[in-house]
Amino acid sequence: MNKPSIRDLLKTIWVLEEKEDLKITLLGIGPMSERVVKATLELGEEEDFPVIFIASRNQVDKKEWGAGYVEGWDQKEFVTVVGKIAKEINFSGLYYICRDHGGPWQRTEERREKVSEKEAMKRAKDSYLADILAGFDLLHIDLTLNPLQKEPLPLEEVRKRIIEMIDWLETKRKEKGLPPVGYEVGTEETKGGLINPSAFEQFLKSLLRELNSRNLPKPDFIVGQTGTLVKMDRNVGQFNPKMAKELATIAKKYKVGFKEHNADYLSEEILTAHPNLGITAANVAPEFGVAETKTYLRLAKLIPQSDFIPTIQRATLESNRWRRWLTKEDDSLTAEEIAKDRKMLNRITIVAGHYTFSQKVVTEAQEELFRHLKEEKITENPQREVVQAIKDSIRNYIRAFNLKGLTTILTKNKLKK
């Protein structure tokens, strides 16, 4: 029997919500590194919850555009590695591989180089096609970016583009005889317009009507803004429970899951409220990369002769990827200023160090660090310490979202793999 789709998961969850008052929020996990993938699958097996990986185009993409910063993986390699790790640890549950923020200009280089609309759309389609050929389970159709225009796209234009993209993808999928794929629509970007509940409902209603008229699949998720915003290693937004509940209720009315992005670093009180607010799923990514980086830095401090810390600091600063995480008060800082400020250099290394994990110089420094840790008998298995730290970080969400044991609950209720 084939693995149940994400739509099957949602249908079963909604039935159990009505029948047994099941209240859960699914967790989308950003695959920040191979160790994050391993930690997630291990925890998925131990805690018995469905694993959902959400990879951005910066993380995993086609080789011709530079692949992704995560181990240099393209789509096929990513799917293969996840399957390999699952097999190695005897993973017996459910896991799903999803595209997060697919679409034009969703790679940093595309925005920086201001590639033309024609080229950006071509790359987006090629990327999505590589996703479905590799076996991705769900695609986030985010067509809201356009660095060539100052004004955000009107919602009507966003809706039109989503329909055209899904239509194109469904045609290609059927031509190639590939299995069905799920879709996620909308964006958490406040400029996207999906903040006002009436605009949110009108957008969803008209989108579903048009998809239905063309015999195209209903999206599994719609993304809405709940007030979350991640900067540095904090959630600096203002989570709005009233808005979250209202948007989630609207989505459920149309049998579409409500998805929150940027749920990193929210308080335990806010996280534990998610299931009761009806938030179907929430995405978390940078927080798990930060957990891994912090563990490397902690271990490196135990080996004075290690050059791991200056190496990863240099690589992080040169990557320039830290810039997107700066708060308003710091966003004018230059690399030169940060290099002279030891405290700030450490902070940007913590939040953006994960972008450098697959760089040869960082990998070699990390391997050397691990060798010293073993030789000096500080820890026999530093790799295990890193994986454990990531698991501890993820476990907070499993607990808050009531996910422990969910796979068994779903499979017992006629959800068959």
Residue 153 or 14, more confident? 14
Quickly list DSSP for 194-222: TTSHHHHHHHHHHHHHHHHHTTPPPPSEE
**Average pLDDT of the chain?**
95
Confidence band, pLDDT 50/70/90 cuts, at residue 416 = very low
- DSSP 3-state assignment of 334? coil
* Sign of the torsion formed by the C-alpha atoms of 406, 411, 416 and 417: positive
In whole angstroms, what is the distance from residue 43 CA to residue 32 CA? 16
What are the tens digits of pLDDT across the range 76-124? 999 999 999 999 999 999 999 999 999 999 999 999 999 999 999 999 9
Confidence band, pLDDT 50/70/90 cuts, at residue 193 = low
179 with 142, same domain?
yes
Q: Say what the pLDDT of residue 414 is.
A: 72
CATH label of the domain that carries residue 33: 3.20.20.70
**Cα atoms found within 13 Å of the Cα of residue 202, Cβ hemisphere only:** 10
- Residue at 274 is within a domain: yes
Give the range of the structural domain holding residue 48, as residue numbers without chain letter: 6-284+402-412
In whole angstroms, what is the distance from residue 133 CA to residue 110 CA? 23
Q: Say what the pLDDT of residue 191 is.
A: 53
- Residue at 219 is within a domain: yes
Flag whether pLDDT at 187 surpasses 80.
Answer: no
- Residue at 393 is within a domain: no
Flag whether pLDDT at 417 surpasses 60.
Answer: no
In whole angstroms, what is the distance from residue 371 CA to residue 379 CA? 10
Confidence band, pLDDT 50/70/90 cuts, at residue 194 = low
Residue 201 or 153, more confident? 201
What are the tens digits of pLDDT across the range 241-282? 999 999 999 999 999 999 999 999 999 999 999 999 999 999
What are the tens digits of pLDDT across the range 28-87? 999 999 999 999 999 999 999 999 999 999 999 999 999 999 999 999 999 999 999 999
245 with 116, same domain?
yes
Residue 113 or 391, more confident? 391
Flag whether pLDDT at 1 surpasses 50.
Answer: no
Closest CA to 401 of 291, 281, 284, 228: 281
Look up residue 283 and give its two tokens.
């995405």
Q: Say what the pLDDT of residue 153 is.
A: 80
The total number of structural domains that make up the chain: 2
In whole angstroms, what is the distance from residue 255 CA to residue 246 CA? 14
- Residue at 293 is within a domain: yes
Q: Say what the pLDDT of residue 154 is.
A: 82
- Residue at 396 is within a domain: no
Residue 68, Ramachandran bin (φ over 0: left; ψ between -120 and 50: alpha; else beta): beta
Q: Say what the pLDDT of residue 189 is.
A: 63
272 with 300, same domain?
no
277 with 343, same domain?
no
Q: What percent of the chain has pLDDT over 90?
A: 90
- Residue at 124 is within a domain: yes
Q: Say what the pLDDT of residue 192 is.
A: 47
Model's pTM, two decimal places? 0.95
68 with 14, same domain?
yes
138 with 199, same domain?
yes
Flag whether pLDDT at 415 surpasses 80.
Answer: no
In whole angstroms, what is the distance from residue 311 CA to residue 332 CA? 24
350 with 269, same domain?
no
136 with 213, same domain?
yes
226 with 301, same domain?
no
**What are the two backbone dihedrals, phi and then psi, of residue 243, each rounded to the nearest 5 degrees?**
-65, -45
377 with 263, same domain?
no
Q: Say what the pLDDT of residue 9 is.
A: 96
250 with 363, same domain?
no
300 with 266, same domain?
no
- Residue at 397 is within a domain: no
